Amino acid sequence: MPASLQDIQRRITSTKKTGQITGAMQMVSTAKLSQIQRHTTGYQAYVTHVKAVVAHLAQAHVLANAQGELLEVRPISKTGILVVTSDRGLVGSYNSTVLKQTLDLISKKNLTPANTEILAVGGVGADFFKKRGFNVTYEYRGVNDVPQFMEIREIVKAVTAMFASDVFDELTIAYNHFVNRISNEYRVMPMLPITEDTLQIHAKQTGATASFASYEMAPSPEAILKAVLPQYVEAMLYGAILDAKTAEHAASANAMRSATDNAKDVISSLELQFNRARQAAITTEITEITGGMAALD
């Protein structure tokens, strides 16, 4: 076999192996997506109740006179941004979208590395902001494919402790929201301090509503808030990371499907090229044989 044909054959074999790998990765990502969607459905029942209670308290204007470390509104000297990305690549534009949009957010808010604290959930985001001179105050790598509530609770403890210690004066979460299996959208959600305005934004983004504005509370509004608000922060952060992880699995499945389809297209093109080259080689051989026979005659 001529050298050019051997080269084409090697490329076909290599591309077929690559296509098999990306096809397998697509199936794995699709299975993870289905698993996390089932998990999210069960979690929604809990988070809906927590959101409803806090929304009721907000409508009753209980927050206006309440005190607590999660409610403390103070002058903004440091802004915290919690960025959720993946720990690896092969997820299409998933990471680049959230990182680019977060840089745009920082620019629009006139923030700088000097007055911005980055909290990174996911290795890609942590490495990205470190290279650009930002202080990555907190990073968490290795979030499970289907995040567990207790895992996220450790993140919440660290985040709320930093807010209470004045590491930053406000906290915003930036992540990719799962729309459907073929698309996601960048979402920014203010988290701390908890105010009535913050709750209204949460309600608008998540669809949480309250049906009444006042009711009797026991033992006291302060005691209720002390118990409910940490759960609310946990619920919102856990929901955001679940949402982001769902979008990640969808993006990974789409990227691997595109890679597999591209591999098939490349194989078809190479096989056509191989057949044409082989046909040309055979034609040349026949011509040489015919010419040789004619010379003998």
Dump pLDDT digits (tens) for 192-241.
888 777 777 766 665 555 444 455 666 666 677 777 778 888 888 888 88
Mean pLDDT of 70-78: 83
Q: Which amino acid is at 189?
A: M
Specify the pLDDT at position 149: 82
pLDDT at 73: 80
Q: Which residue has the higher pLDDT, 12 or 203?
A: 12
Selected residue with higher pLDDT from 71 and 134: 134
The count of other CB atoms within 10 Å of the CB of residue 274 is 17
For residue 164, give both structure tokens.
Answer: 């209470």
Alpha carbon 288 to its chain's center: 62
CA 216 vs CA 51, 52, 64, 199: distances in Å? 18, 15, 17, 21
Which residue segments constitute the domains of the chain, with CATH numbers given? 3-28+255-289 (1.10.287.80), 33-254 (3.40.1380.10)
CA nearest 28: which of 252, 259, 261? 252
pLDDT at 54: 73
Instruction: Share the mean pLDDT of the chain.
Output: 81
Neighbours of 244 (CB within 10 A): 27
- Mean pLDDT to the nearest integer, 94-106: 92
Could you give the CA distance from residue 69 to residue 49 in angstroms, rounded to a whole number?
23
Q: In this structure, is the dihedral angle defined by the CA atoms of residues 203, 209, 214 and 220, taken in order, positive or negative?
A: negative
Tell me the pTM: 0.80
pLDDT tens-digit profile of 108-167?
Answer: 988 888 899 999 999 999 999 999 889 999 999 988 888 888 888 888 888 888 888 888
In whole angstroms, what is the distance from residue 73 CA to residue 274 CA?
A: 70
- Residue 37 region by backbone torsions, left for phi larger than 0, else alpha for psi between -120 and 50, else beta: alpha
248-259 residue pLDDT tens:
888 888 888 888
In the chain, % of residues over pLDDT 90:
16
Given this model, what pLDDT does residue 7 score?
Answer: 84
Query: Greater confidence, 266 or 288?
Result: 266
Q: Rounded to the nearest 5°, which phi and psi values hold at 243?
A: -60, -45
